[in-house]
Chains A and B, each alone.
Chain A
């Protein structure tokens, strides 16, 4: 099954800005919106960003998303300790007729 490349880890200090990238192909990110999920250890994933740059209710505006061509990124500004989690990108894939997820990025707040 296809997996979207993501950096395995990212880190920053409190207050910093961190960006997590996600790359794909014309079958997925290039032709469909990208979504982001956050997963705290031992819990189910939760929707963090949908349709490239839309925040669900309750997600602070410190989180922002963008997409360009076959790549997408999630930016977190004003980093806080509670942002430590795994972050996954995902998109519908037209060739698979299903979803592909990113490998996941573990964010550490130093």
Chain B
């Protein structure tokens, strides 16, 4: 079955950096686009970034553009989110999700918590 396992979250100071990882299994990773979605404490869902199956095309929400970088390693069945210049408002649970052709997220990881605080 499809499994998406995020890791790399933690406590970081404002202005700091963190790299999230998402390990995928149970499906042909190279067939799918992947995405990161976040949820601030007590708030709703916010799309963060996506990457195509080849990794050539990526895009970001305006709120993270220029600070976050998405990438993938198809040999390792993994997708990453490099987060720089972190702000308090980046505090959230970050979910990794698989994207289907009709542009929906059919499987989600369990999430990893990122806390930005001094």
Interface string of A33-63 (1 = CB under 8 A from B): 1010100000111110011000010000000
Whole-angstrom CA separation of A91 from B104 in the bound complex: 8
On A, residues with C-beta under 8 Å from B are 1, 3, 32-33, 35, 37, 43-47, 50-51, 56, 88, 90-92, 96-104
The answer on a CB contact under 8 Å between A98 and B61 is: yes
Given A33-B103, A45-B108, A104 and B62 touching (CB < 8 A)?
Answer: no
The stretch from B11-19, B21-29, B41-49, B80-88 touching chain A is B41-49
Name B95's closest neighbour in chain A (CB-CB): A44
Q: Which residues of B contact A (CB under 8 A)?
A: 35, 37, 44-47, 50, 59-63, 95, 100, 102-111
Contacts of B60 in A (CB 8 A): 98
Known contacts being A44-B109, A51-B102, is A99 close to B47, with CB within 8 Å? yes
15 pairs, A vs B, C-beta closer than 8 Å: A1-B46, A3-B44, A33-B102, A35-B105, A37-B45, A45-B105, A47-B104, A50-B100, A50-B102, A56-B106, A98-B60, A99-B37, A99-B47, A101-B46, A101-B47
